[in-house]
Amino acid sequence: MLAAAATARLAEAGVPSARFDAEALLAEALGIDRGRIPIADDATPEQAAAYEALLARRAAREPLQHILGRTYFGPLTLAVGPGVFVPRPETELLAVWAARQVGRGAAIVDLCAGSGALGLYLAATVPGSRVVLVERDPAALDYLRRNAAAAALAGTATVLDADVRDPELPDRVAELLGTVDLVVTNPPYVPEGADLDREAAADPAAALFSGADGLDLIRELAPLAARLLAAGGAVAVEHDDSNGAGTAELLRAAGFGGVAEHRDLAGRPRYVTGRMDP
């Protein structure tokens, strides 16, 4: 079977999810859902050639999501590719936590929105929510706008082209200051010089690295989130697995109470949450 040989080939190339990727690429070449592979007709010569081309790219360790041009995040199908950070499944834990903190009509801000994974997830799952997604990078903004349009969330999701480090940003969003129910962010947080696997290294450096300790941007995001939130509002910040305690301390220093560190399903420190005390 094509997928069996392809799985062995990808495994030999060091792809960690060789079987899944081989099947996903076969489904792409055949134009079917992955679950239909066992009952699919044999590949035509054209489909086999297309599959070979896709496999060659993955064997060279091009990210699967770049090859397919999409990834999945909760109920969303997001366009991704070179120039935008590919959201990881672990971030869905933060998204689920965040959605449980607010009710209908919540005002939500996603800082360093990238592809829009967090903010669009919340726009799609919190009824009547009003979400502002802040991103500065032109390439990421292109994907963000495409994803917001594809999710059919016009009127509930607003994309703002802005740098979260800009001292004039609070003036640009003055109507939001002190009124927001929830702030979420998956910012650049990798310490400079950290070793990355080949797939992670394909993400844009600007979306990954944040100073020697990985906390430079979080240092600026914590007080910005505090200014945005209403009393009782919640914040959730994803961080490097070496920086749970450091992120928690930055939130406390910005005035947040109830600060808690959360782990992912593998037991690694993943995100920190807090709440603006009344």
Q: What is the pLDDT of residue 42?
A: 86
Q: Does domain 74-276 have CATH number 3.40.50.150?
A: yes
Q: Is the dihedral of CA 132, 135, 136, 139 positive or negative?
A: negative
Known binding-site positions: 135, 186-189
Strand ranges, E, within the chain: 70-73, 76-79, 107-111, 130-135, 157-161, 180-185, 229-238, 256-263, 269-276
**C-alpha distances in angstroms, 102 versus 123, 128, 181, 242, 261?**
12, 11, 7, 29, 19
| Average pLDDT of the chain, as a whole number | 95
In the chain, the largest separation of any two C-alpha atoms, in whole Å, equals: 66
Annotated domain spans of the chain = 1-61, 74-276
Q: Using the predicted structure, report yes or no on whether residue 153 has a pLDDT greater than 70.
A: no
Say how many CA atoms lie within 13 Å of 256 toward its Cβ.
30
Q: What confidence tens digit (pLDDT) does each residue in 97-114 have?
A: 999 999 999 999 999 999
Indicate the burial class of 25 (C-beta count within 10 angstroms; 0-12, 13-18, 19 or more).
buried
* Distance, CA of 231 to CA of 267 (rounded, Å): 31
Q: Using the predicted structure, report yes or no on whether residue 29 has a pLDDT greater than 90.
A: yes
* Distance, CA of 133 to CA of 232 (rounded, Å): 21
Q: What confidence tens digit (pLDDT) does each residue in 213-243 have?
A: 999 999 999 999 999 999 999 999 999 999 9
Q: Which residues on adjacent β-strands are paired with residue 180?
A: 229
Known binding-site positions for substrate: 186-189
Known binding-site positions for S-adenosyl-L-methionine: 135, 186
Read off the pTM.
0.94
